[in-house]
């Protein structure tokens, strides 16, 4: 054998910080203040504050491996915590400010957070659970706002001021050597089904993901960019932009609590952002705002959209009105999150229908991520754009377990089961069509509930439709179509089955139909199929059979 002679140099958050602070010390973090002068700090200043924060946290008893949570907006102080906490060897736990109280206390306790850094504007939200956090030893409040509600925590944890703590320290904290496989950050899934699950990123995965964000084939940020990170920093590392910015020198634009379209667009206009990243809801709000106001988005070279599939009209409108190409990215908490982005291949003319077709894909597999689709038996399916299977991924920034929960049902031979159903074509573009839990397994084949629902909802008589799988002795499962008719409209099950007959394969047409008053919905307005399944199981739904001719 022969030994590599390469240095055993750990990939770490401290290395990202050193690079940004020294090579791009002049690049800036610009935080929007809602109309006044934006707050500016150079990367060198952010790094100096991160050193002060690490010193302060050490004084509070934080040691390598301990968890420090943040309950913050996208702003300079949150960025300082992004670097200080992992670089000192502790673990940054970003808390989603939109969680229900019981979820919030659950994950703080599940992660054993020792310190919580909280923005003063968010103190009331955190205060709702402050008496249920026995392990928290200190609260650190950013800003001068009222922090009294936090004093009423059950365990006498002190409530300290961020800026006081930093003022008492000097820069120059000596970052420890870390094992690159040590925990750096953690984030919980939103837990739409069951309790949220914790994903713990390593220094290695964080560094590699930041390299990927820099890749010219992906986000490709450089020092010439001014990146408006609308995607929250509590939402899977703000898609890697903060760390990517320190590796590449891209200036960071941080909206703080000003997430309304008028603020975001004013920020873009004032600071000439070159790139903005947001979920479709925000992009839609900007579009709506633009219908009533003249907007100058000409500084944006691109926008990235993720978190949910964007409607086609969104991509088209931004292109038509602003010449702005929105590129969709796909990922999950479990994938750090960058799994792929839907950049059309070379040669496709921007602005054409073909260009939008490509951009409507879920993504193209990112270098560093491996993907496959498998059928219900776990056998790999071809990349022909036709075969439909569960998407599985693996790679150095993909999770292989959950915090204190190996969750073997979520993995398959070392691959993460994404729970998404879709196709992959021969260029590595993938299209997600459904969720595994919503797909109907019939005779070893899958029937897409989403596809049936989309067809049904195009019928003039139908207001809403949901399709669920119900047990079937012969086929394992068969689809049950749950239909809400429009007021004054009428249609029979047989008519609707015939309507579907020329749109999907014959065997996919449901023979079970029920007419109901409303489809149950989740708090974010998605179909909630659990109550439907329960009602069917308890024989509360009146099911009509349409026999195949």
**19 versus 503: smaller Cβ distance to its own copies:** 19
- Please indicate whether residue 334 is annotated as part of the active site: yes
CA 245 to CA 240: how far, in whole Å?
8
- Please indicate whether residue 446 is annotated as part of the active site: yes
Cβ-based neighbours of 100, under 8 Å, separated by 6 or more: none
CA 200 to CA 211: how far, in whole Å?
19
Helices 261-271 and 280-292 pack at an angle, to 10 degrees, of 80
Burial of 213 (0-12, 13-18, 19+ CB in 10 A): buried
Main-chain dihedrals φ then ψ at residue 94, nearest 5 degrees: -85, 120
Q: What is the 3-state secondary structure (H, E, C) of 411-437?
A: EECCEEEEEEEEEECCCCEEEEEEEHH
- Please indicate whether residue 31 is annotated as part of the active site: no
Q: At 395, is the secondary structure helix, strand, or coil? A: coil
Distance of closest approach, residue 332 Cβ to its own copies, in angstroms: 13
Residues 118 and 140: beta-carbon distance below 8 Å: yes
CA 24 to CA 37: how far, in whole Å?
23
Distance of closest approach, residue 532 Cβ to its own copies, in angstroms: 33
Distance of closest approach, residue 224 Cβ to its own copies, in angstroms: 4
Strands 415-424 and 326-330, by their bridges, are unpaired
Q: Which of 441, 445, 477, 544 is catalytic?
A: 441
Burial of 126 (0-12, 13-18, 19+ CB in 10 A): buried
Q: Which of 189, 265, 304, 418 is catalytic?
A: 189
Cβ-based neighbours of 454, under 8 Å, separated by 6 or more: none
- Please indicate whether residue 492 is annotated as part of the active site: no
Distance of closest approach, residue 368 Cβ to its own copies, in angstroms: 7
Q: Which of 271, 319, 334, 453 is catalytic?
A: 334
**Can you spell out the DSSP letters for 256-315?**
BT--SHHHHHHHHHHHT-SEEEE-HHHHHHHHHHHHHS----TT-SEEEE-SSPPPHHHH
Residues 76 and 46: beta-carbon distance below 8 Å: yes
Distance of closest approach, residue 31 Cβ to its own copies, in angstroms: 21
Among 125, 104, 119, 115, which residue's Cα sits nearest to residue 69? 115
Burial of 339 (0-12, 13-18, 19+ CB in 10 A): buried
Residues 327 and 312: beta-carbon distance below 8 Å: no
Distance of closest approach, residue 284 Cβ to its own copies, in angstroms: 28
Cβ-based neighbours of 539, under 8 Å, separated by 6 or more: none
Q: Give CA separation, 431 vs 7, 263, 388, in Å.
A: 40, 33, 9
Look up residue 112 and give its DSSP letter: T
Distance of closest approach, residue 503 Cβ to its own copies, in angstroms: 32
Catalytic residues: 189, 334, 441, 446
């Amino acid at each position: 054998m022969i030994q590599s002679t390469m240095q055993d140099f750990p990939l770490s958050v401290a290395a990202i910080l050193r690079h940004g602070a020294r090579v791009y010390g002049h690049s800036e973090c610009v935080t929007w203040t809602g109309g006044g002068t934006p707050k500016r700090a150079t990367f060198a200043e952010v790094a100096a504050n991160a050193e002060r924060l690490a010193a302060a946290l050490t004084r509070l008893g934080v040691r390598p491996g301990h968890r420090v949570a943040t309950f913050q907006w996208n702003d300079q102080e949150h960025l300082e915590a992004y670097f200080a906490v992992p670089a000192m060897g502790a673990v940054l736990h970003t808390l989603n400010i939109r969680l229900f109280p019981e979820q919030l206390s659950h994950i703080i306790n599940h992660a054993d957070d020792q310190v919580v850094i909280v923005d003063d504007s968010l103190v009331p939200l955190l205060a709702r659970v402050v008496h249920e956090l026995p392990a928290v030893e200190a609260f650190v409040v950013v800003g001068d706002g009222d922090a009294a509600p936090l004093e009423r925590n059950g365990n006498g944890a002190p409530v300290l001021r961020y800026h006081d703590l930093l003022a008492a320290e000097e820069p120059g904290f000596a970052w420890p050597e870390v094992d690159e496989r040590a925990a750096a950050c953690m984030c919980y899934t939103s837990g739409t089904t069951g309790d949220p699950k914790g994903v713990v990123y390593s220094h290695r995965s964080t560094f590699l993901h930041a390299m990927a964000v820099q890749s010219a084939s992906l986000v490709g940020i450089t020092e010439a960019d001014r990146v408006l990170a609308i995607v929250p920093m509590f939402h899977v590392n703000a898609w890697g932009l903060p760390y990517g910015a320190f590796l590449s020198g891209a200036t960071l634009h941080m909206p703080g609590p000003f997430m309304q379209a008028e603020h975001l667009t004013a920020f873009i206009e004032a600071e000439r952002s070159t790139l903005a990243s947001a979920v479709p809801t925000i992009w839609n709000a900007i579009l709506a705002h633009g219908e009533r106001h003249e907007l100058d988005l000409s500084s944006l070279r691109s926008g990235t959209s993720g978190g949910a599939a964007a409607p086609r009209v969104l991509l088209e409108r931004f292109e038509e009105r602003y010449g702005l190409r929105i590129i969709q990215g796909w990922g999950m908490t479990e994938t750090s999150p960058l799994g792929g982005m839907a950049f059309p291949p070379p040669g496709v003319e921007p602005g054409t229908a073909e260009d939008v077709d490509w951009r409507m894909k879920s993504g193209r597999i990112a270098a560093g991520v491996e993907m496959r689709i498998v059928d219900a038996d776990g056998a790999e399916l071809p990349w022909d754009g036709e075969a439909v299977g569960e998407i599985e991924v693996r790679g150095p920034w993909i999770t292989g377990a959950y915090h204190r929960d190996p969750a073997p049902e979520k993995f398959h031979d070392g691959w993460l089961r994404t729970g998404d159903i879709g196709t992959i074509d021969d260029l590595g573009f993938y299209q997600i069509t459904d969720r595994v839990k919503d797909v109907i397994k019939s005779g070893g084949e899958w029937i897409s509930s989403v596809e049936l629902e989309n067809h049904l909802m195009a019928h003039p008589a139908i207001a809403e439709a949901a399709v669920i799988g119900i047990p079937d002795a012969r086929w394992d499962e068969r689809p049950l179509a749950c239909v809400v008719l429009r007021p004054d409209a009428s249609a029979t099950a047989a008519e609707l089955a015939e309507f579907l007959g020329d749109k999907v394969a014959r065997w996919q047409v449901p023979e079970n139909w029920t007419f109901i008053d409303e489809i149950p919905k989740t708090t974010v307005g998605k179909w909630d199929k659990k109550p439907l399944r329960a009602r069917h199981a308890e024989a509360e739904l009146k099911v009509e059979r349409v026999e195949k001719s």
